[in-house]
Amino acid sequence: MLIGELVKITGLSKDGLRYYEDLGLIHSKPVKAGTRIYRDYDDTTLERLALIALGKRMHFSLRDIGAVLNRAINDQISREERRAFLLAQAQQVDTQIADLEDVKKQLLFFADQPDKEVVDAHLKEIGLYYE
């Protein structure tokens, strides 16, 4: 399958697909057609792209996705390993949620008191005021 077909099916950009290939997340073979060389993506590409999209939706990094993608595609990752991988990510999400709750509290505080003096006092309090 050529890159144009992947773009139409997935809605991803050519640059995004090339980036995934540079990272080793998807694979293609060069195919010569006249003076041009095209990239032909293998049969697992759509499955790989679906798993990449799912991983990104669950806030995994591309590096994390790449670490398990080949094993998942080839069904070489145990149920226990999958569970541990997912639980570790759930813990990361809990940390991110806590961080975002803190950010929300600060935003609401500043929204209630949007004065420069209040912001400056807070910056001094947390050690981020530079004179």
Q: Domain holding 57: CATH number? A: 1.10.1660.10
At 93 the pLDDT is 96
Q: Please name every residue paired with 29 in a beta bridge, in sequence order, or none if there are none.
A: 40
Percent of the chain with pLDDT over 70: 100
- Summarize pLDDT for 81-102 with one digit per residue, the tens: 999 999 999 999 999 999 999 9
The number of domains in the chain is 2
Q: Which residues lie below 8 Å from residue 54, measured CB to CB, with a gap of 6+? A: none
The pLDDT value given to residue 59: 94
Among candidate residues 18, 19, 58, 68, the one with its CA nearest the CA of residue 38: 18
Q: Which domain holds residue 56?
A: 3-77
| Separation of alpha carbons 94 and 88, rounded Å | 10
Whether residues 67 and 101 share a domain: the answer is no
Regarding whether 100 and 65 lie in a shared domain, the answer is: no
Residue 131 has pLDDT above 90, yes or no: no
- pLDDT attached to residue 43: 85
Q: Residue ranges of the alpha helices (H) in the chain?
A: 3-10, 14-22, 45-57, 62-73, 79-112, 116-125
What gap in Å lies between CA 76 and CA 18, rounded to an integer?
A: 26
For residues 64-72, give the mean pLDDT.
Answer: 91
Q: Are residues 44 and 72 in the same domain?
A: yes
For residues 68 and 100, membership in a common domain is answered with no
Mean pLDDT of all residues in 98-113: 94
